[in-house]
Amino acid sequence: MNPQAKLISISSLLLGTTITISSSHWMMAWTGLEINTLAILPLISNPHHPRAIEAATKYFLVQAAASTLLLFSSTTNALFTGQWDITQLTHPTSCLLLTTAISIKLGLVPFH
């Protein structure tokens, strides 16, 4: 990977993390997570080997499923509470779905 592409990938990782941490709206948090997902894919598949491409594809599919679950959780919360704010997550179903989505994104024990 050439240095410019690596610099752009690492800058995108920092940008996505900053957006996710500083957001107060669910859509901005999701945007930051998606920027991180798309920025890490070239770094995973850097050695152009079939196993690296397979790992990147699996990573992308799992992260896309977790992002969908996160969006569904925020939509469910907005439906029941009328709030899109991150701090207003009060509905139990939304909390459970969000915990599951974040656990999948982090690769915690039952979801690794």
Check residue 11 and give its pLDDT: 94
CA–CA separation, 108 and 101 (whole Å):
10
CA–CA separation, 42 and 13 (whole Å):
11
pTM: 0.82
CB 38 within 8 A of CB 19: no
pLDDT at 1 over 80: no
CA–CA separation, 106 and 63 (whole Å):
9
Check residue 44 and give its pLDDT: 87
Tell which residue, 42, 34, 54, has the closest CA to residue 10.
42
Check residue 25 and give its pLDDT: 87
